[in-house]
Amino acid sequence: MKKASWKHSRVILAVLVTLAAPVVAGAGDNGREAILAAYAAEAKASDPSFSGFSANRGETLFRSVRSGGDERTPSCTSCHTGDPRAPGRNAKTGRRIDPVAVSANVRRFTEGEKVEKHFARDCKSVLGRPCTVLEKGDYITFLEGQ
């Protein structure tokens, strides 16, 4: 009997540790890492020489000024501002946008559907085309370090 209940409490302990882990790691870490891992797999599949995402390239994408998209939004910073830790302002609607830096908002880039929806819409708005998987991974990698 004693042996069995010990086993039982170890199972409960394991469940508790599993449930607590994401909380300890920070609310969104798991979701964001899963999204990055999926992008990395896709990047590797389309280019075998892919050797990882780059925060520097991500910052260049974030800050560079383009001419292919909507003239109200020549850059990601047109809405997200030059300081990723500060709130942004939608250049089309005037509405406030929460900061995009992960340090300022731990839920950033943790919901695959939201991430894909905004990459599709925002890259078209700025670049006039969808972002590549390399650009998407670089962008998140940059903001994860901000």
Task: Determine if 114 is a binding residue for ligand HEC (CB under 6 A).
Answer: yes
Task: Determine if 123 is a binding residue for ligand HEC (CB under 6 A).
Answer: yes
Distance of CA 24 to the CA centre of its chain: 19
Q: Considering only the stretches 5-13, 17-25, 42-50, 120-128, report the one whose residues sit in contact with ligand HEC under the rule CB under 6 A.
A: 120-128
Distance of CA 130 to the CA centre of its chain: 16
Determine which residue in the list 43, 80, 137, 146 makes contact with ligand HEC, applying CB under 6 A: 80
Task: Determine if 63 is a binding residue for ligand HEC (CB under 6 A).
Answer: no
Determine which residue in the list 43, 101, 126, 133 makes contact with ligand HEC, applying CB under 6 A: 126
The dihedral of CA 144, 112, 118, 38: what is its sign? positive
Q: How far apart are the first and last CA of the chain?
A: 53
Task: Determine if 119 is a binding residue for ligand HEC (CB under 6 A).
Answer: yes
C-alpha to C-alpha distance for 132 and 46, rounded to whole angstroms: 11
Task: Determine if 32 is a binding residue for ligand HEC (CB under 6 A).
Answer: no
Identity at 91, one-letter amino acid code: A
Contact 89, 79 (CB under 8 A): yes
Residues that bind ligand HEC (CB under 6 A): 73, 76, 78-80, 90-92, 97-98, 108-109, 114-115, 118-119, 122-123, 125-127, 131, 139
